[in-house]
Amino acid sequence: MAVTRREWLRSAGVLAGASVIAGKGTARAAGPAASPPAAGSAELFDVPDFERQAQVRLSPMAWEYISEGAADELTLRWNRESYDRLRLRPRALVDVSQLDTRVTLLGRELPFPILLAPTAYHKLAHPDGELATVRGAGAAGATMVLSTMSTVSLEDVAAAATHPLWFQLYVQPDREFTRRLVGRAESAGYQALVVTVDAPVLGARYRELRAHFNLPPGVERANLKGLVTATGAQRATEQSIFSATLDPKVTWKEIDWLRSLTRLPVLLKGVMNPDDAARAVDAGVSGLIVSNHGARNLDTVPATIDALPEVVAKVGGRLPVLVDGGIRRGTSVLKALGLGATAVLIGRPYLYGLAAEGAAGVTRVVNILRREFEMAMALTGRTSIAAIDSSVIWR
Ligand SMILES: Cc1cc2nc3c(=O)[nH]c(=O)nc-3n(C[C@H](O)[C@H](O)[C@H](O)COP(=O)(O)O)c2cc1C
C-alpha cells in the first residue's frame, strides 16, 4: 500500500510543520509502498538546491541534526570558505574531448574520485534509510562507506549493494562485540574498514540539543542489536561528556588489535595532525582520511582542505590520503586532488539528496558533483587525474 510522505513522517514521529510538508513536496503521485512520494525534481540542479529542498522535507529535528556543526560552527563555515578562497589556474588550448576520471584506490579502480562518507541514521532522512542510499550510490557507480550507526543492518545493506562498500567502525566499549562486528563486515563483503579516530566523545552540538534529538520509535542502531545502546539518543549530558556508543579509551593499541583481527585494509578517518599521519604510516594502516567530522566535534580546528597539504607532505606518497568536509562543488574536488588527495568523500550533500528524492536523489547529487568535477577538469585543461597537481591552484 502506498503511503503519502505526510503519513510516513507522522508514523515515524518526525512530521515537520504541516504547512511546509503540504508545499512543494507533494507535487507528484505517491511513491512505492512504505516510501514517501518523490519530490518534484525539476527545480533541483545543484547541491545548494538539494540542501534547500532537504530543509523543506526533513523534520526540524532531522534538519538540525544533519546540518549542524559543533559549538559556534566556525569550522563548519571554514570547511566551505577555505575552498572558496582557493582559486583555479586554467590552461587554455588543451584537447579536452576525452577526460579520464578513473582513480585506483586500495588496488581497485573507481570510475571517479568521489565516495560517500559514513553518516549515521539515514532513516531520519528517508523511510528506507541506508537501503535507499546504497541503491542510489550503486546507480551512480559510487563507493559507499556505511556507518556503524546505520539504521539498516550492515548485512541488509550489503545484500542491496551493486558496488563496493566500505565499513566505518566506531570501536565499541564492548571489545568482544567490536570483534564480532568487524567479522560481520568482512563476511558480508565490505572491502575496507574505516576506523573513526576523531570521536572519543562527541562535540558540543547545541542545535540537536535544542531540537531534542532522539531516535524516533522504530529507528535503531541496527548494527548494535544486542547492546543496550541500540536505541535511544545516547548523548552526553550536562553532567558527563561521554556517550555510551563511543569508547574514550581507544589508542594506537586498538589500531594494532584491529589490524590483527581482519584481512581488510584499515583506514583511519579523522586525522588532521601530520604527526598522527606519520604515526599511522608506522602503524601499517592502508590509508588516511583527513576529516574534522564535518565540523561536528571540535570547533575551531582548521578546515580540512587547509590541513590536507601538511598531511600529504608527511605521508610522502606512502599511503593514499583522502579528504572530506565542505565539498559542495566539483571545483572543490579538483582543488582537493590538486593539493594531494587521492579521492574525496561527501557527507551532507548526499543526505540532502536522500531527503529530497530518496535513492534517486543520492544518485543525482553524486552525478551533479561528478559532472561539475569533469567541467572543472575540462575548463582547467586537465584531462586525467594524473594531470591534476598543485599547478591547478592559483598562487
Ligand atoms: C548527519 C551526519 C552524521 C555523521 N555520522 C558519522 C558517523 O556515523 N561516522 C563517522 O565516521 N562520521 C560521521 N559523520 C561525518 C562524515 O563522515 C563526514 O566526515 C562529514 O559529513 C564530511 O563533511 P560534509 O558533510 O561537509 O561533506 C557524520 C556527518 C553528518 C553530517
| Helix 60-67, helix 348-380: angle, nearest 10 | 50
Count Cβ neighbours within 10 Å for each residue of 98-135 and write b for 16 or more, e otherwise. Answer: ebebebebbeeebebbbbbbbbbbbbbbbbbbbbbbbb
pLDDT over threshold 60, residue 69? yes
| Ligand 1 centroid from CA 41, angstroms | 25
Tens-place pLDDT, residues 156-178: 999 999 999 999 999 999 999 99
Tens-place pLDDT, residues 173-194: 999 999 999 999 999 999 999 9
Contact 42, 269 (CB under 8 A): no
Given this model, what pLDDT does residue 16 score? 40
Given this model, what pLDDT does residue 9 score? 44
Tens-place pLDDT, residues 339-352: 999 999 999 999 99
Count Cβ neighbours within 10 Å for each residue of 188-215 and write b for 16 or more, e otherwise. Answer: bebbbbbbbbbbbebbbbebbbebebbb
pLDDT over threshold 90, residue 214? yes
Q: Where are the alpha helices (DSSP H) in the chain?
A: 5-11, 18-21, 47-57, 60-67, 74-85, 130-140, 154-159, 175-187, 206-210, 252-261, 274-282, 304-315, 330-338, 348-380
pLDDT over threshold 50, residue 19? no
Domain covering 5-392: architecture: Alpha-Beta Barrel (3.20)
pLDDT over threshold 80, residue 32? no
pLDDT over threshold 70, residue 30? no
- Tell me which residue has its CA closest to atom 6 in ligand 1: 119
pLDDT over threshold 60, residue 103? yes
- Tell me which residue has its CA closest to atom 1 in ligand 1: 66
Given this model, what pLDDT does residue 10 score? 41
Ligand 1 and 291: CB distance under 6 A: yes
How many other C-beta atoms are found inside a 10 Å radius of the C-beta of residue 218? 12
| Ligand 1 centroid from CA 294, angstroms | 5
Ligand 1 and 294: CB distance under 6 A: yes
Q: Which range has the worst mean pLDDT, 29-38, 106-115, 131-140, 340-349?
A: 29-38
pLDDT over threshold 50, residue 23? no
User: What is the Cα 224 distance to its own chain's centre?
Assistant: 20
- Retrieve residue 287's grid coordinates: 590509508
Given this model, what pLDDT does residue 236 score? 79
Given this model, what pLDDT does residue 60 score? 97
- Mean pLDDT computed over 364-371: 98
Q: How confident is the model at residue 42 (pLDDT cuts 50, 70, 90)?
A: low
- Retrieve residue 203's grid coordinates: 562535540
- Percent of the chain at pLDDT exceeding 90: 86
Ligand 1 and 120: CB distance under 6 A: yes
Q: What mean pLDDT value characterizes the chain?
A: 91
Ligand 1 and 149: CB distance under 6 A: yes
Q: Which atom of ligand 1 is nearest to the CA of 147?
A: 8
Ligand 1 and 304: CB distance under 6 A: no
Q: How confident is the model at residue 56 (pLDDT cuts 50, 70, 90)?
A: very high
Residues annotated as catalytic (active site), given as ranges? 293
45 vs 233, higher pLDDT: 45
Q: Which atom of ligand 1 is nearest to the CA of 168?
A: 11
Cα–Cα distance, 209 to 14 (Å, whole number): 16
**Domain segments of the chain as ranges:** 5-392
Q: Global pTM?
A: 0.91
Cα–Cα distance, 126 to 334 (Å, whole number): 30
Cα–Cα distance, 77 to 19 (Å, whole number): 30
| Ligand 1 centroid from CA 381, angstroms | 32
Given this model, what pLDDT does residue 234 score? 86
| Ligand 1 centroid from CA 51, angstroms | 15
Given this model, what pLDDT does residue 237 score? 81
- Mean pLDDT computed over 45-66: 98
Cα–Cα distance, 259 to 255 (Å, whole number): 6
Ligand 1 and 347: CB distance under 6 A: yes
- Mean pLDDT computed over 322-332: 98
Mutate to test the pocket of ligand 1, among 47, 66, 79, 119 (most ligand atoms within 8 A of CB): 119
| Ligand 1 centroid from CA 234, angstroms | 17
| Ligand 1 centroid from CA 94, angstroms | 37
- Mean pLDDT computed over 359-365: 98
Ligand 1 and 118: CB distance under 6 A: yes
Sort strands 103-105 and 114-116 into parallel, antiparallel or unpaired.
unpaired
- Retrieve residue 93's grid coordinates: 588550448
Helix, strand, or coil here: 37?
Answer: coil
Ligand 1 and 168: CB distance under 6 A: yes
Given this model, what pLDDT does residue 21 score? 33
pLDDT over threshold 90, residue 29? no
- Mean pLDDT computed over 24-35: 36
Ligand 1 and 82: CB distance under 6 A: no
